[in-house]
Chain A
Amino acid sequence: MTATLSKYAKVFAVGAQNTFVYRWNFVLRSVVGIVPLVGTIFLWRAIFDSGGGRLSGYTFSQLIMYFAMTVFVENLVTPTEDEWQIAGEIRDGKMSFLLLKPLNYIAYRFTLYASYRLLYTVVLLPGVVLIFFFLRDHISLPVHAATWLWFAVSTALAAVIQFFIAYTIAMLAFWILEISTIVFIVFSIEYFLSGHAFPLDMLPPWIAGFVKWSPFPYELYFPVQVFTERISGAALAQGIAIQAFWAFAMWMSGVTLWRIGIRRYQAVGG
């Protein structure tokens, strides 16, 4: 047990070091990453100017809080390069080298993902704090202490869903050469249905009713709603249950595709 733990602790450290090699990449990315957020704030300012005090039950401050939290959770859980790297390892035959090691590939990949995400968030933290400071008039922290716990749980489940969606797509590289079109198709659906573009309760109720059962809102929108306490009580319990279901389903699909795929693996060039 301890041997296993220390093995993956090593993987974690290697992932962190790898990330630090490309620190300028990081910095550049976080600087330009702020542009859409600022643009979004300006756009909604103009919308509130012509729409009055409240839109779909949001005040301007609540909406800013929503987008600021979305950016934070997204940085924490959205994989950026994992699917490309995994697909690359399959396509270029680099997988052979990893299969020979006493590692479980999925655990290995998940550890790398966790290490990227945590380090990324830590490095971005000063920037995030700065943004929150600029927006301080609009920021409100949860009232109930239990909210922090539920937020942690739903964020962790969101991370599992996001990772295993990426992993499942990457597994397709066992069958097809080029996965980028599929990555982008899923990405464009996620962009709107995960609540990145706008809060999903602004959708017409009948569409929102459908979307609620899909995995996408649980990648981003749901944890943010939990944190801002717009979801509570029975709706919170139901949400966590649906989220846990999707986390499990995505995990299973990743594992299953791996098992079938690895039998087809031919180690091209490996």
Chain B
Amino acid sequence: MNRYLSIFRLTARNSLIREMNFKLNFLLWMVVELLWFAGQLAFIEVLYGQVNEIAGWSKWQLVALVGVHQIIAQLFQAFFYINIANLPELVRTGRLDLMLTLPMDAQFAVSTRQVSFDCIVNSLVGVAIVAFALAKLHIVPSIAQLALFACAVPLGIAVHYAVMFGLSCISFWIIRAQSFIHGYFNLFHIGRYPEAVFRGVFRFIFTWLVPVILVSNVPAKILAHPFTSPWAGLAMLSAATLAVLAATRALWLLALRRYGSASS
């Protein structure tokens, strides 16, 4: 465990040095995220120009939900996104060989090659938005709420990780599976909607099989709906997180047995 932590510290340090070499790019990526985020807030503004609440969420509660989604998605992107996005290329070119021979778990090696610090800054924008929305709602979160929130966020990041990693494992079977990146964004696109809007089979699939609608809803409810009990949601999120992580691990091990190493 200690060894993995120290490896990770080195990776993070290298990434920071590298990013500081491309300062303009670093700033531009932040512009991209800010634009995207501003667009979403404009979208909410348009929606609430029409109605006062959507599936039991007022305007500022929904802003808090989008902010929470931003925090979780950006933290996921900071630590894992680019690494997982590169996996199909490692498989295609056979450079995965190198990862497999390292004296550590291969899934860890593949998943933690670099850290994107611009995303950490962007997640702080999410924090600011959530704080602003809570102020508008006149909610001052208690220590207990914040503690539960702090538990729910890593669970959400784990779900993002498991879903995208699972999708990228498809590249062991289909060469050039870039569509999985679209898959990831398409799936989590619906994660910023109130879960109560979904019904029927769709709701079942995206709560239990690919739990994307729990990820932001559970932590956002802890803060923005302080009078509903958080325990049921947290229990569901924990169970779903464990299930997708286990499924992804199984898929990865299965995929590795298939790996034939290209061009070597």
B47 in the interface (beta carbon within 8 A): yes
Task: Give the dominant DSSP class at B's interface.
Answer: helix
Q: Is the CB of A202 within 8 A of B50?
A: yes
A237 in the interface (beta carbon within 8 A): no
Q: Which of B43, B46, B178, B194 contacts A25 (CB 8 A)?
A: B178
Which residue of A has the minimal Cβ distance to B24?
A181
Q: Is the CB of A192 within 8 A of B39?
A: yes
State A202–B49 Cα separation when bound (angstroms).
Answer: 9
Which residue of A has the minimal Cβ distance to B57?
A46
User: Which range holds the interface residue count of chain A?
Assistant: 35 or more
B51 in the interface (beta carbon within 8 A): yes
Which residue of A has the minimal Cβ distance to B190?
A39
Interface residues of A in 1-29 (CB under 8 A from B): 22, 24-26, 28-29
Q: Which residues of B contact A197 (CB under 8 A)?
A: 39, 43
State A250–B170 Cα separation when bound (angstroms).
Answer: 38
Interface residues of B in 39-60 (CB under 8 A from A): 39, 42-43, 46-47, 49-55
State A204–B50 Cα separation when bound (angstroms).
Answer: 11
Q: Is the CB of A43 within 8 A of B54?
A: yes
Query: A35-B187, A46-B194, A46-B196 are known contacts. Are A181 and B25 too (CB-CB below 8 A)?
Result: yes
Q: Which of A24, A50, A182, A203 contacts B52 (CB 8 A)?
A: A50
State A198–B194 Cα separation when bound (angstroms).
Answer: 17
Q: Is the CB of B177 within 8 A of A35?
A: no
Q: Which of A26, A185, A202, A204 contacts B28 (CB 8 A)?
A: A185
B29 in the interface (beta carbon within 8 A): yes
Binds A, one of B11-19, B30-38, B228-236: B30-38
State A197–B42 Cα separation when bound (angstroms).
Answer: 10
Name B residues whose Cβ lies closer than 8 Å to a Cβ of A.
25, 28-29, 31-32, 35-36, 39, 42-43, 46-47, 49-55, 170, 174, 176-180, 182-183, 186-187, 189-190, 193-194, 196-199, 202
Name A residues whose Cβ lies closer than 8 Å to a Cβ of B.
22, 24-26, 28-29, 32-33, 35-36, 38-39, 42-43, 45-47, 49-51, 55-56, 178, 181-182, 184-185, 188-189, 191-192, 197-198, 202-204
Extra contacts, 10 of them, besides A25-B178, A47-B50, A184-B32 (Cβ < 8 A), are A29-B183, A33-B182, A35-B189, A38-B190, A39-B190, A42-B197, A43-B193, A46-B54, A46-B196, A47-B51
